[in-house]
């Protein structure tokens, strides 16, 4: 653990901070932060973590209380004011400009120019050199600095966002779920940068739900619950189980050794499905009552495969066969879906990787978002049946324990975990035989995660076929009956329950020849 200088003096202090919106979200928080340490800030979604982080960075103004930086009063009125004083925040939602290049995004505030007589002309050569140097520190040599951000994968965009905030004048760096979209290799590069910053005396607030990472990287732990600071303590004094209990107020069991679910009838099959180099001749079958997990590195083709199965992208080759839930329904074979609406009509649903830009109408209410998948069920002759809609949504909110003021609350004001529950509720409102889930618990705390896991278990018991993409191998091992591994656009291995380990899954993801011989090559079943 990092040793504080003697006498111990906090670099940054928070005194009796509170924040009220419609109701209080933070109340009486007192916290100190020391130079050269990593403070892990944890808690359930809605506990107040993001609000506290935004107050520290200048994005929000506290309703009461005070802050001090280097012994002086600190009360930034904007994020820019906070950054001038050396306080930077990498937010969970990316703030990049997709039409600009990686280099332009990295150095947007300090674009180099040609000098006095050509002040309006960017020095492209120097910009490229500075950006490349900056990227090398983050282990991002594989990314061309002149590439438009829109052409990068979401994990690569996350690395660019982090790199943009690793500036030389940084005193405090706030990282909000920084590894949610990173591969294990990218995560280790980030951890190396955190170690470098610590050695330079930078204080880091690390907000994450990945407890194994928190245990690895943090020196101290601070836990928020319902807007109150529950405890601060040395990280080496608590176990992962202790952290979970502090966050949710009770123990949350994880069943990694459960038996395989019984396999029902075949619900969906894909044969030699492909699209360019992103997905190459993938064959897979999904069965009722079974969960198939899909592992792989960022860029391996996992998301692209789900988009083909849902009709969000059109396949170049191969075919999809949908088998109805009833025994008397003939299989339906299609070369490709014309649109997602056609896939939905065939009984296929999708929970997207990026809930904010692809999954939710952020300016609409919980009620609207929940019933969006099947408006016909709550309308007649083009008119909404509001009483029926409100009754159905009320039941969905209760079933999934969505934390909200009312069903008329705007979805954009909910925490990440509760937003994810709204998307799950959408596919409970619109029953489907096959549900595709892309990173279903990204940025979701352990309490909300347990609620989602329980609902997925009920879906499987009810006879749905689930295909789950996740970068969290422990999540896949807990939920899945089989785990397929994607690498370079191909489905290279399928492990049966009891065959896998984290090591064997990672070896397959890297397409490593050392993958155990007991793991069969991918096949249709």
Q: Domain locations in the chain?
A: 1-86+172-251, 99-168, 264-347+433-525, 364-431
Nearest-angstrom CA–CA distance, 126 and 163: 18
What is the model's pLDDT at position 118?
A: 52
Higher-pLDDT residue of 22 and 131 is 131
The CATH superfamily assigned to 1-86+172-251 is P-loop containing nucleotide triphosphate hydrolases (3.40.50.300)
pLDDT digits (tens, 9 = 90+) for 424-445: 888 888 778 999 999 888 767 6
pLDDT digits (tens, 9 = 90+) for 268-302: 999 999 998 889 999 999 999 999 999 887 678 89
pLDDT digits (tens, 9 = 90+) for 463-517: 999 999 988 888 898 899 999 999 888 999 899 988 888 778 877 876 543 334 3
Both structure tokens of 226 = 């319902």
* CA dihedral (428, 429, 431, 437) positive or negative: negative
Higher-pLDDT residue of 244 and 4 is 244
pLDDT digits (tens, 9 = 90+) for 185-202: 778 878 888 888 888 899
What is the model's pLDDT at position 63?
A: 92
CATH of domain 264-347+433-525: 3.40.50.300
**Is-above-0.75 flag for pTM?**
no
Nearest-angstrom CA–CA distance, 295 and 506: 9
Residue 152 pLDDT > 90? no
The string of DSSP letters for 355-397 reads: IIIII--TTSBHHHHHHGGGGGGGEETTEE-HHHHHHHHHHHH
Q: Where are the alpha helices (DSSP H) in 2-66?
A: 49-57
pLDDT digits (tens, 9 = 90+) for 105-131: 888 767 777 655 555 677 788 888 888
Q: Which helix (H) or strand (E) is 290 found in, with range?
A: none
Q: Is 295 helix (H, G, I), strand (E, B) or coil?
A: strand
Q: Which helix (H) or strand (E) is 272 found in, with range?
A: strand 266-275
To 10 degrees, what angle do helices 184-199 and 154-164 make? 10
Two domains, one topology: 1-86+172-251 and 264-347+433-525? yes
Let me know: does 76 contact 85? Beta carbons within 8 Å: yes
Q: Is 489 left (phi over 0), alpha (psi -120 to 50) or beta?
A: left
């Amino acid at each position: 653990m990092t040793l504080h200088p003697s006498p111990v003096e906090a670099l940054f202090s928070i005194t009796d901070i509170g924040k009220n919106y419609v109701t209080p979200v933070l109340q009486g928080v007192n916290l100190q932060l020391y130079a050269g340490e990593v403070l892990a800030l944890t808690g359930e979604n809605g506990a107040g973590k993001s609000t506290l982080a935004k107050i520290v960075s200048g994005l929000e103004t506290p309703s009461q209380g005070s802050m001090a930086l280097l012994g002086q009063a600190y009360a930034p009125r904007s994020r820019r004011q906070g950054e001038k004083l050396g306080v930077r925040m990498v937010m969970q939602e990316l703030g990049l400009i997709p039409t600009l290049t990686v280099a332009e995004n990295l150095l947007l505030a300090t674009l180099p120019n040609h000098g006095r007589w050509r002040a309006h002309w960017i020095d492209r050569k120097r910009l490229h050199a500075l950006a490349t140097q900056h990227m090398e520190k983050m282990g991002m040599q594989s990314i061309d600095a002149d590439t438009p951000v829109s052409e990068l994968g979401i994990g690569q965009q996350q690395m660019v966002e982090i790199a943009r905030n690793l500036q030389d004048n940084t005193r405090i760096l706030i990282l909000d779920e920084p590894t949610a979209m990173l591969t294990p290799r990218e995560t280790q590069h980030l951890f190396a940068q955190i170690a470098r910053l610590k050695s330079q005396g930078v204080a880091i607030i690390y907000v994450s739900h990945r407890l194994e990472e928190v245990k690895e990287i943090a020196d101290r732990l601070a836990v928020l619950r319902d807007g109150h600071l529950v405890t601060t303590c040395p990280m080496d004094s608590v176990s992962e189980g202790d952290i979970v209990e502090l966050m949710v107020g009770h123990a949350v069991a994880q069943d990694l050794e459960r038996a395989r679910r019984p396999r029902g009838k075949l619900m969906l099959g894909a044969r030699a499905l492909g699209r360019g180099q992103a997905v190459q001749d993938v064959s897979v079958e999904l069965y009722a009552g079974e969960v198939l997990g899909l592992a792989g590195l960022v860029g391996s083709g996992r998301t692209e495969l789900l988009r083909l199965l849902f009709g969000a992208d059109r396949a170049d080759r191969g075919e999809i066969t949908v088998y109805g839930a009833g025994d008397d329904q003939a299989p339906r074979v299609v070369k490709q879906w014309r649109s997602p609406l056609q896939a939905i009509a065939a009984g296929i649903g999708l929970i997207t990787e990026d809930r904010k830009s692809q999954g939710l109408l952020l300016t609409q209410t919980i009620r609207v978002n929940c019933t969006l998948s099947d408006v016909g069920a709550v309308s007649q002759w083009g008119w909404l049946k509001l009483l029926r809609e409100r009754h159905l949504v009320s039941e969905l909110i209760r079933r999934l324990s969505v934390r909200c003021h009312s069903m008329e609350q705007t979805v954009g004001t909910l925490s990440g975990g509760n937003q994810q529950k709204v998307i799950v509720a959408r596919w409970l409102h619109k029953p489907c035989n096959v549900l595709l889930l892309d990173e279903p618990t990204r940025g979701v705390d352990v309490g909300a995660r347990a609620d989602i896991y329980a609902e997925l278990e009920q879906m499987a018991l009810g006879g749905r076929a689930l295909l789950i993409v996740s970068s969290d191998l422990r999540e896949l091992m807990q939920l899945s009956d089989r785990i397929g591994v994607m690498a370079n656009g191909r489905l290279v291995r399928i492990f049966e329950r009891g065959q896998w380990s984290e090591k064997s899954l990672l070896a397959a993801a890297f397409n490593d020849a050392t993958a155990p011989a007991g793991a069969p090559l991918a096949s249709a079943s």
